[in-house]
């Protein structure tokens, strides 16, 4: 494909602050269709704030955010519903509805946004649960009965329920054992390839970065200081990026 | 958005399925069911994708369930990305599991009664255990006053005592006014309107001030204690205290208990003043008896001081009950949100019930003592 790629997410001159504490200042970021982008940065650099701003949970103090080419600040009700249908979010700790079973959790977006008959909804939800690698035995469990890794998988199944074009993941592999994390990485990569997903992934996990991302955006100094492939970032001379990728853990992940 | 549709045509070597429109979650509707009926008993040899627009996993699922299986990669040559989605869905081991069966209504009713009895006994045991730990913690706090957490104590006293002052005074003001209206109205019929002052004095000082204050604190502080302690439990803060060797009772329960123990009598006193003030305004306006007369009638009654003391004597007991029930329910919160809601509700209901019940017990005791 030679045509210029469509910008699914476009953040221009974003400013975020809490009181006097400025988190982002003049931050720019674009994500193209089909990209798997990893967002890294030290603790407190506002990765989750950036995510929340893009998905509309937080109003920016300045600058603009557009998704699917539409400005988030001026969305009509119908456009906002359309954006919600076309995006899926996996929150850091799953954020499953604790009063619903696994199946009901995954079916919830379908019930909300489609007019499918209820048995079709259940079949689609069962398919999504199978897609994220959970056994049918988990269908009728409540979130309190699940392990951390299972919760993440259910959260991913719920995020995928409406077949979104754009998937947001907030530290998907945090708190998983290395085997589980590798399997989760593999799953996300496979789904993004097969379903043509665009993925915006916050992570601390160097292995995930090497395994599945196309590009990595680095948050530092209140901005995105670099957005490039991992191998390009390894050659960067920004002090934080050097330390991140060329430190002992970075070297180990690269060798793997 | 184009609705999903299809056509099945018999050609020489088998059926040809032509798909059209968007085969996606939002536009699929009942097409999947219709496809199942149309394809039933036939073998789909080829599919025609010329008119197919969007395609997602829900569309793929409809095809797989419709019995369109065993198509190779070649069949999807026109739309390789749709083929990948189809292949992903086809190889999934989907399986439906019926929800766990619920017992029949009769069994459920008996099970509920049984659980109720068992839970009541278990709750009672746990409450006694809590009481025991509470007494032990209080004992050790008294033995080592240096370990008392004064900062926590003062902040709790401010939050659950001082901040409650406005609402408690306003509520009791209205209670006093209502009693005065009723008293004046009834007693004037017998030509004894001036005795409304005594009625206000006795009812406010002896009962209403302390009971209304305690009930308001049950709604305000017992719920807050249960929610705070419960959220700390869910957040593993109490486990963290335990491994640090911090006694959770010393750190969380004792300050709350001590704060209410001091604040509830003070609040009750303020409530008495507010109640009397409400009564005073009503007698003044409806009987034209001024404040000086109102005060004089109260002072002339030799028992009025005793009524006030009886009222105040209940305050510390109610304080203990409200704080202990709130913290006890907070400590019993399990990991999930539902149990937090259940426990907070239980804290308020139990605290209010205990206040009314104990008030009745006090009434009997003081009656026997002729106070």
What's the pLDDT at B62?
84
Of A128, A137, A194, the CB nearest to B85: A194
| Residues of A in Cβ contact (< 8 Å) with B234 | none
B26 to A130: CB separation less than 8 angstroms, yes or no: no
- DSSP per residue, B176-190: HHHHHHHHHHHHHHT
A140 to B100: CB separation less than 8 angstroms, yes or no: yes
What's the pLDDT at A2?
45
The shortest C-alpha distance from A137 to chain B (Å) reads 7
Strand-by-strand arrangement of the A62-67 sheet: A21-32, A7-18, A62-67, A70-71
- Chain A interface mutation, best of B22, B57, B61, highest count of A Cβ atoms under 10 Å: B57
Lowest mean pLDDT among A44-48, A246-250, B227-231, B300-304: A246-250
Using DSSP bridges, classify how beta strands A7-18 and A21-32 pair: parallel, antiparallel or unpaired.
antiparallel
Average of per-residue pLDDT values in chain B: 88
| Residues of B in Cβ contact (< 8 Å) with A162 | 25-26
Say if residue B17's pLDDT is above 90: no
Lowest mean pLDDT among A136-140, B64-68, B137-141: B64-68
End-to-end CA distance of chain A: 31
Q: How confident is the model at residue A43 (pLDDT cuts 50, 70, 90)?
A: confident
Mean pLDDT of all residues in B138-167: 89
Rounded-to-integer distance, Cα A163 and Cα B62, Å: 14
What's the pLDDT at B167?
95
Comparing alpha-carbon positions, the chain A residue that sits nearest to B84 is: A194
What's the pLDDT at B175?
95
pLDDT in tens, A121-141: 888 898 888 888 888 888 888
Rounded-to-integer distance, Cα B225 and Cα B228, Å: 5
What's the pLDDT at A256?
67
What's the pLDDT at B109?
93
* Beta carbon pairs, A and B, within 8 Å: 88
What's the pLDDT at A189?
86
B94 to A116: CB separation less than 8 angstroms, yes or no: no
Mean pLDDT of all residues in B113-129: 92
A127 to B30: CB separation less than 8 angstroms, yes or no: no
What's the pLDDT at A3?
54
B370 touches chain A (CB under 8 A): no
- What count of other Cβ atoms lies within 10 Å of the Cβ of residue B269? 17
Mean pLDDT of all residues in B51-70: 81
Does CATH number 1.10.10.60 belong to domain A7-255? no
| Residues of A in Cβ contact (< 8 Å) with B87 | 194
| Residues of A in Cβ contact (< 8 Å) with B335 | 144
Say if residue B73's pLDDT is above 80: no
Average of per-residue pLDDT values in chain A: 85
Rounded-to-integer distance, Cα B80 and Cα A194, Å: 10
Mean pLDDT of all residues in B72-95: 79
Domain ranges (residues) in chain A:
7-255
Comparing alpha-carbon positions, the chain A residue that sits nearest to B26 is: A114
Q: Residues B9-18, buried b or exposed e (16+ Cβ, 10 A)?
A: eeeeeebbbb
| Residues of B in Cβ contact (< 8 Å) with A128 | 57
Most confidently modeled range among A88-92, A95-99, A199-203, B269-273: B269-273
Maximum separation of any 2 CA atoms in chain B, in Å = 114
Rounded-to-integer distance, Cα B26 and Cα B58, Å: 9
Strand-by-strand arrangement of the A166-170 sheet: A87-90, A166-170, A198-202, A36-41, A215-220, A223-228
Percent of chain A with pLDDT over 90: 5
Say if residue B118's pLDDT is above 70: yes
B61 to A130: CB separation less than 8 angstroms, yes or no: no
Helices and strands in chain B: count of H runs, count of E runs: 15, 3
Cα–Cα distance list, B62 to A120, B3, B66, B92, B148 (Å): 9, 14, 6, 14, 67
Rounded-to-integer distance, Cα B277 and Cα B283, Å: 10
Say if residue B271's pLDDT is above 60: yes
> Is the ipTM value over 0.90, yes or no?
no
Say if residue A84's pLDDT is above 90: no
What's the pLDDT at A4?
62
Comparing alpha-carbon positions, the chain A residue that sits nearest to B100 is: A140
What's the pLDDT at A1?
42
What's the pLDDT at B21?
84
The answer to whether the Cα torsion of A128, A130, A131, A132 is positive or negative is positive
What's the pLDDT at B330?
93
Tokens of A205: 């996990």
Name the DSSP letter for residue B24: S
| Residues of A in Cβ contact (< 8 Å) with B65 | 123
Say if residue B228's pLDDT is above 90: yes
B25 to A162: CB separation less than 8 angstroms, yes or no: yes
Q: How confident is the model at residue B26 (pLDDT cuts 50, 70, 90)?
A: confident
What's the pLDDT at B326?
94
pLDDT in tens, A170-228: 888 887 888 888 888 888 888 888 888 889 999 888 888 888 888 889 888 888 888 88
| Residues of A in Cβ contact (< 8 Å) with B100 | 140
């Amino acid at each position: 494909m030679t045509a210029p790629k469509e910008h699914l997410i476009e953040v221009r001159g974003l400013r975020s602050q809490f009181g006097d504490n400025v988190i982002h200042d003049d931050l720019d970021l674009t994500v193209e269709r089909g990209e798997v982008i990893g967002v890294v940065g030290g603790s407190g650099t506002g990765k989750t704030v950036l995510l929340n701003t893009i998905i509309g949970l937080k109003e920016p103090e300045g600058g603009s955010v557009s998704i699917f080419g539409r400005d988030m600040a001026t969305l009509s009700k119908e456009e906002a519903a359309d954006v919600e249908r076309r995006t899926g979010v996996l929150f850091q700790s799953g954020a499953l509805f604790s009063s619903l079973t696994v199946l009901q959790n995954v079916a919830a977006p379908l019930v909300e946004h489609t007019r499918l008959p209820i048995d079709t909804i259940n079949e689609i939800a069962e398919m999504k649960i199978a897609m994220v690698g959970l056994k049918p035995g988990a269908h009728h469990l409540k979130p309190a009965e699940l392990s951390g890794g299972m919760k993440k998988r259910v959260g991913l199944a719920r995020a995928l329920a409406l077949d979104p074009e754009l998937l947001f993941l907030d530290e998907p592999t945090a708190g998983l054992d290395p085997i589980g994390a590798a399997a989760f990485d593999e799953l996300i990569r496979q789904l993004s390839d097969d379903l043509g997903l665009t993925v915006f992934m916050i992570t601390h996990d160097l292995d995930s970065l090497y395994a599945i991302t196309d590009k990595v955006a680095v948050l530092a100094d209140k901005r995105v200081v670099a957005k490039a492939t991992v191998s390009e970032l390894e050659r960067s001379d920004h002090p934080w990026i050097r330390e991140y990728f060329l430190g002992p853990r970075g070297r180990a992940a690269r060798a793997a | 958005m184009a609705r999903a549709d299809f056509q099945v045509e018999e050609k020489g070597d088998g059926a040809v399925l032509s798909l059209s429109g968007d085969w996606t979650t939002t536009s699929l509707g009942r097409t999947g069911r219709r496809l199942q009926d149309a394809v039933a008993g036939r073998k789909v040899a080829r599919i025609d994708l010329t008119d197919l627009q969007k395609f997602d996993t829900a569309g793929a699922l409809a095809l797989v369930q419709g019995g369109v299986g065993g198509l190779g990669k070649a069949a999807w040559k026109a739309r390789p990305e749709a083929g990948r989605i189809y292949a992903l869905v086809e190889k999934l081991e989907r399986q439906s599991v019926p929800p766990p069966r619920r017992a029949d209504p009769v069994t459920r009713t008996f099970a509920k009664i049984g659980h109720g009895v068992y839970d009541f006994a278990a709750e009672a045991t746990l409450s006694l255990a809590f009481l025991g730990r509470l007494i032990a913690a209080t004992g050790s706090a008294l033995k080592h006053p240096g370990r008392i957490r004064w900062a926590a104590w003062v902040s709790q006293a401010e939050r659950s005592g001082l901040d409650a002052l406005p609402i408690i005074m306003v509520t009791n003001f209205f209670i006093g006014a209502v009693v005065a209206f009723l008293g004046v109205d009834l007693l004037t019929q017998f030509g004894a309107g001036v005795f409304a002052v005594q009625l206000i004095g006795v009812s406010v000082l002896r009962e209403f001030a302390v009971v209304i204050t305690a009930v308001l604190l049950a709604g305000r502080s017992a719920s807050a204690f249960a929610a705070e302690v419960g959220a700390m439990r869910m957040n593993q803060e109490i486990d963290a205290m335990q491994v640090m060797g911090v006694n959770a009772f010393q750190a969380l329960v004792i300050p709350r208990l001590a704060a209410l123990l001091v604040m509830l009598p003070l609040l009750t006193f303020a409530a008495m003043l507010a109640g009397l003030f409400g009564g005073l305004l009503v007698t003044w306006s409806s009987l034209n008896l001024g404040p000086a007369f109102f005060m004089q009638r109260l002072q002339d009654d030799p028992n009025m001081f005793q009524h006030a003391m009886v009222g105040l004597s209940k305050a510390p007991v109610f304080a203990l009950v409200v704080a202990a029930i709130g913290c006890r329910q907070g400590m019993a919160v399990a990991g999930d949100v539902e149990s937090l809601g259940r426990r907070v509700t239980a804290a308020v209901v139990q605290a209010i019930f205990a206040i009314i019940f104990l008030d009745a017990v006090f009434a009997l005791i003081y009656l026997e003592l002729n106070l």
